[in-house]
Amino acid sequence: MTDDESESVLSDSHEGSELELPVIQLCGLVEELSYVNSALKTETEMFEKYYAKLEPRDQRPPRLSEIKISAADYAQFRGRRRSKSRTGMDRGVGLTADQKLELVQKEVADMKDDLRHTRANAERDLQHHEAIIEEAEIRWSEVSREVHEFEKDILKAISKKKGSILATQKVMKYIEDMNRRRDNMKEKLRLKNVSLKVQRKKMLLQLRQKEEVSEALHDVDFQQLKIENAQFLETIEARNQELTQLKLSSGNTLQVLNAYKSKLHKAMEIYLNLDKEILLRKELLEKIEKETLQVEEDRAKAEAVNKRLRKQLAEFRAPQVMTYVREKILNADLEKSIRMWERKVEIAEMSLKGHRKAWNRMKITNEQLQADYLAGK
């Protein structure tokens, strides 16, 4: 759709909508037409950019946005265009979809190129600024160090009252040292510059020699190089095959090694278990040996007691009957006398308790009498 057709359609739609449509539909129609106008404006700007790239600036026609006319002229111009668009709508020629797609693709490619160049320039500027910042930081650290050294060596001496002459000497010495260090740095930089120039000359000479050698090469040399290249390729292929075989053998060896490692791990576990069991068995053996010694001692003691009892049993002689009867009667008499004396002891204890009670009563009575006597006096 061309600009004339769009304006005619918009004007017709506006005229018809003002007479027939309600306010809500008119608002929706206005929004839709605004969206269409913005899309057409974007498309027109893109076409103008593409057209500006194709033609020089002095030969291109002015843009619609650059033309400044009055309101009356614009209304008259719009009326003429509207009448022309109504009478000759079929004469407008527009771009096809393929042409628009091609223009859009070119515009996107140009934008990508611009973005890539902008990004490269930004990265270069960023690196440049980072280098400047790093150099400034290094210089700032050097200046800070020099200021610190100057304050430590000079200002402390100047602040003292008695050190004015010494401070002057230190200032002069500091300035001389700074000049000497600057001269040394200048000499180092000069030598470095000379060495860099020598390296540059060597590199240029090598580059020139390589160019001469490359120019001096002939077909025979290229054939020789091809033959050597083929030989090297065969050697590389053979070495690659050997490397493949070595990798396979290495894989098999690694598998065997892993199997032996697992066996070794199991054997180590068995060894640790056996070691623990051996320790337990040793402890049990020591315990059994101690118990054996204790049992031997008990057995020796039991044998000694057994021998003594056997000896007593062998030496035992049964007494005569009359002697046994007399001893029995004597034992019974002794038991009777023991019981009798125990009874007497009980009676004596009871009488002792009675006497103690009487004594206590007498003692208490005597104390009361003494207390009464003392109170009567």
Please state the domain extents for the chain.
Answer: 3-94
Q: Is the pLDDT of residue 72 over 50?
A: no
Interval 5-27 mean pLDDT: 57
Interval 327-331 mean pLDDT: 89
Confidence of residue 167 (pLDDT cuts 50, 70, 90): low
Interval 207-211 mean pLDDT: 80
Q: Is the pLDDT of residue 113 over 80?
A: yes
Q: Is the pLDDT of residue 213 over 80?
A: no
* Helices marked H in the chain: 3-20, 23-54, 71-87, 97-150, 156-159, 164-216, 219-315, 321-376
- Among 134, 163, 8, 178, which residue's Cα sits nearest to residue 78? 8
Interval 352-370 mean pLDDT: 87
Cα separation, 89 vs 83, whole angstroms: 10
The pLDDT of residue 93: 52
- Among 9, 5, 2, which residue's Cα sits nearest to residue 33? 9
The pLDDT of residue 66: 47
Q: Is residue 135 a contact partner of residue 126, using CB atoms and an 8 Å limit? A: no
Cα separation, 11 vs 2, whole angstroms: 14
Q: Is the pLDDT of residue 337 over 80?
A: yes
Q: How many beta carbons lie within 10 A of that of residue 349, not counting itself?
A: 10
The pLDDT of residue 228: 85
Higher local confidence (pLDDT), 4 or 139? 139
The pLDDT of residue 221: 66
Dihedral class, residue 162 (left if φ above 0, else alpha if ψ from -120 to 50, else beta): alpha
- Among 73, 6, 70, 86, which residue's Cα sits nearest to residue 38? 6
The pLDDT of residue 2: 44
Q: Is residue 82 a contact partner of residue 11, using CB atoms and an 8 Å limit? A: yes
Confidence of residue 166 (pLDDT cuts 50, 70, 90): low
For residue range 246-264, what is the model confidence (pLDDT) as tens digits?
888 888 888 888 888 888 8
Higher local confidence (pLDDT), 62 or 286? 286
For residue range 223-246, what is the model confidence (pLDDT) as tens digits?
787 888 888 888 888 888 888 888
Interval 38-56 mean pLDDT: 76
Q: Is the pLDDT of residue 193 over 50?
A: yes
Confidence of residue 64 (pLDDT cuts 50, 70, 90): very low
Confidence of residue 285 (pLDDT cuts 50, 70, 90): very high
Interval 153-180 mean pLDDT: 69
Between CA 156 and CA 158, with CA 157 as vertex, the angle to 5 degrees is 90
The pLDDT of residue 278: 92
The pLDDT of residue 73: 52
The pLDDT of residue 219: 61
The pLDDT of residue 192: 87
The pLDDT of residue 10: 47
Of 47-56, 108-117, 266-275, 326-335, the range with the lowest mean pLDDT is 47-56
